[in-house]
Amino acid sequence: MKNIVDIMNISSEEWYNLIADSYELLYGEEQEKKIQFIEDLFKKLFGNVTFENGLDFGCGTGISTKFLIKITKNAYACEISQNMLEKAKEKLKNVIFINCKELEKYNNFFDIILSVTVLQDVEEPERILELFNKILKDNGILILSVLKKKGIEYWKPKIKKYFNILWFSEEEKDFIFILSKKFY
């Protein structure tokens, strides 16, 4: 089944630029519930730990970044959609916004990376997983959610190439993973 981006023949970046003003109306409640689930799970698994540097990859309008702010001293966020990024910047003041295309220079820098409902929209998700492995510290954590439309048999091999699966859950619309960096 084709999604709207395929039907309209536009990129994910163009799509999110188009819907930025109505994103929270369309998806806000669903994303808030997902983040609350992740936050509750995180507290259950890790307690009240605080990380030095965290990245929200694909921060959208900043819904997921609010969680990252709670658990890091330095919250970083990136988003390819300029319109979505502007919405996030309006709401979030204590966040360091960085260019997604310049993440390579943050080698072994982040203690935690959060990527919620992003990777399924990326043309080369394995390349992004490899990037996450590069920019995540050796003892770092990746919290990843992907929409289920491609199936677990698509995601698990790609994820396992770069990460150890510490925890996994199949939710209504998403697969949610808590991952640690794989060493070679």
Give strand pairing partners of 179. 142, 165
| pLDDT of 133 strictly over 90 | yes
Q: Tell me whether strands 136-147 and 95-97 are parallel, antiparallel or unpaired.
A: unpaired
| Structural domain of 132 | 4-181
Q: What is the pLDDT of residues 142-166, one digit of tens each?
A: 999 999 989 999 999 999 999 999 9
* Report field, pTM of the whole predicted structure over 0.85: yes
What is the 3 state secondary structure string of 122-162? Answer: CCCHHHHHHHHHHHEEEEEEEEEEEEHHHCHHHHHHHHHHH
> What DSSP assignment string belongs to 24-46?
HHHHHHHHHHHHHHHHHHHHHHH
CATH number at residue 18: 3.40.50.150
Q: What is the pLDDT of residues 15-30, one digit of tens each?
A: 765 766 776 677 778 8
**Residue % of the chain over a pLDDT of 70:** 90
Q: What is the count of structural domains for the chain? A: 1
| pLDDT of 105 strictly over 70 | yes
Q: What is the pLDDT of residues 32-53, one digit of tens each?
A: 899 999 999 999 999 999 999 9
Per the prediction, the chain carries an average pLDDT of 90
